[in-house]
Amino acid sequence: MKRILAVVLALAVALSVAAPAFAETTLEKIARTGTLTIGTRTGSPPFAFVNKQNEWVGFSIDLVEQAIAPAIAKKLGKPVKVEKKESTPPTRIPLLSSNAVDLIAGTMTDTRPRRESVDFSVTFFVTGAQFLVKKGSPIKGIETIAGRRIAAQQGSTNARIIRERVPTAQLREFPDQPAAFQALVQGQVDAFTNDGIQLYGLRAKAPNAADWEIVGDFYSYEPYGMAMRKNESDFRHLVNVGLMEAIESGKYFELYEKWFGPRGEAPYPLTPENKRFLILQVVPK
Amino acid sequence: MGYQFDWSILWSGQSGGWLLQGLLTTLGISALAWLLAAVLGILSGALRTVPWKPLRAAATLYVEFFRNVPLLVWMFFWYFGVPPLLPAGARRWLFDHHPEFWAGMVALGVYHGARMSEVIRSGIQSIPKTQFEAAVAMGLTTFQAYRLIIVPIALRLIVPPVTSESLNLLKNSSVALTISVAELTFQTRQIETYTAKAIEALTAGTVIYLALCVGIASIMARVERRFAIPGLIARGG
């Protein structure tokens, strides 16, 4: 028994060590397969979600398909197809490390600890955490959640901040937005906290949107970036070029209007401050 | 692979405490669910063999209904589906007392009870019919024959498959993280959130599950030897 165990363990270790020997760079992989594989979400409107027509769409997906993939295709001199895979906060870094996906394009906040494991593109969206509550709820922001039952998304930065700043709040963490929202609808929790823009997206798609309100000042800073494997600067450069060119050409703002404009999935006007921040990230040609 | 391992994240910071908390929750929910599964399993497993049709039918219905729907669905059912059916007072009380833990426990217990039932039924049916007939001929009622003869022998016969089923239950408790139970797998994800070191955190979780299961299996092997009836079962080794 012990000997078998030892053999199995040795085999597992050998395999995991041997794998990198066959590794190619992300760009080589895309050139060989003609496919850019992204990890994205199915339940985070309007960034990435499955719409009523059962299509997998969203702002982040559009950015990849209309800005990043063309930049890579131009560099490689051949068309690049975008393939989507589901990724959630707990799975996205392992999906990258294991080469299952090449780019995380969803709603991932760029943080310093995450930068120790993955590399990020320039910031493509800025938001902050707020609370979704039933209209008339006594919860008005992070100052009023002590002792309350608060739903959050597992593996998100919000849960972490609440745990540190309001340890008396009863956190309930769910793997995805629909489950957390369901818990809120049923009264299992008093509020659902997430990045403000995601709450707007969620409310816009809720059956009785008018029953819900989004409260509180941003209690966190959430700059969204696209994540990729560490130390592949040629690939990261192309991702950044795609995003910068989109901001420069106005394509970015067109897409912004499509998803966050008055007629978009989740109306959320771009503040002049955020617009300026996006433009300042674009380095000269 | 551009991944740099950093195992120190497992013992620095809060990781150790989280893993311990997760381990305790996993053990708590599994132990309670196991008790529930054992009671339901023994009851329905025995009822499926009794010579009275309505009881057999009820037990069959329970088994087929609960074991043929995915555990994840049961988790959502007990967590989201059941509370709205409760009276308002009970619901409010439940919402303040970790409904996710109780829903997860019941989901696990009822699901595995249905699977346990089949194991117990096969144990009972492997006992020669003459045992039951002999017991009745001695003047025992059907209930007494089951309680004193059939079930005690069956329980001894089924220790190996029950061990497997119990280990499955322990590992399946991780599904409860979908309804926000902060068990072991949940805590390994928590470590990932704070450190962005997923592979190390998952490895820690894997090693703990492995150690738990191997430990339980060896205890059960001892139980099997301790309670064996000499001369009844042929055994190797």
CB-CB: which of B1, B178, B193 is closest to A155?
B193
- Taking only Cα atoms into account, the Rg of chain A, rounded to an integer number of angstroms, comes to 20
Name the nearest CA neighbour of B202 among A88, A94, A158, A98. Answer: A94
For A140-168, how does the pLDDT look when each residue is reduced to its tens digit (9 = 90+)?
999 999 999 999 988 788 888 999 999 99
Which of the four pLDDT bands, split at 50, 70 and 90, describes residue A21? very low
Domain assignments of chain B as residue spans, ordered by start: 27-185
CB-CB: which of B80, B180, B189 is closest to A155?
B189
Name the nearest CA neighbour of B62 among B120, B118, B104. Answer: B118
| B139 to chain A, closest Cα gap in Å | 48
| A146 to chain B, closest Cα gap in Å | 14
Averaged pLDDT, A35-44 = 93
Measure the CA–CA gap between A202 and A184, rounded to whole angstroms: 12
Q: Looking at chain A from residue 9 to 68, which residues have their Cβ under 8 Å from any Cβ of chain B?
A: 19-20, 23
At A9 the three-state DSSP class reads: helix
Evaluated on CA atoms A97, A102, A104, A110, the torsion sign reads positive
B202: chain A residues, CB-CB within 8 Å: 94
For A60-112, how does the pLDDT look when each residue is reduced to its tens digit (9 = 90+)?
999 999 999 999 999 999 999 999 999 988 788 889 988 999 999 999 999 99
In CATH, what is the architecture of A129-220? 3-Layer(aba) Sandwich (3.40)
Which of the four pLDDT bands, split at 50, 70 and 90, describes residue B2? low
List the beta bridge partners of residue A82. Answer: A36
Residue in chain B closest to A175 (alpha carbons) equals B178
For B91-127, how does the pLDDT look when each residue is reduced to its tens digit (9 = 90+)?
888 888 889 999 999 999 999 999 999 999 999 999 9
CB-CB: which of A90, A157, A231 is closest to B2?
A231
Name the nearest CA neighbour of B127 among B151, B160, B143. Answer: B151
The answer to ipTM > 0.90 is no
Half-sphere exposure of B205 (CA within 13 A, CB side): 23
Interface test with B, best of A173, A184, A220, A231 (most B CBs within 10 A): A173
A89: chain B residues, CB-CB within 8 Å: 193
Name the nearest CA neighbour of B67 among B44, B39, B99, B35. Answer: B44
How many residue pairs bridge chain A and chain B with CB atoms within 8 Å of each other?
Answer: 82
CB contact under 8 A, B193 and A183: no
Q: Please give the share of chain A, as a percent, with pLDDT higher than 90.
A: 71
Neighbours of A79 (CB within 10 A): 10
CB contact under 8 A, A113 and B196: yes
Q: For A6-20, A30-44, B147-161, B162-176, which range has the lowest pLDDT when averaged over its residues?
A: A6-20
Domain B27-185 has CATH 1.10.3720.10: yes
How many residues does this entry show for chain A? 285
Which CATH number does A26-126+223-280 carry?
3.40.190.10
CATH 3.40.190.10 location in chain A? 26-126+223-280, 129-220
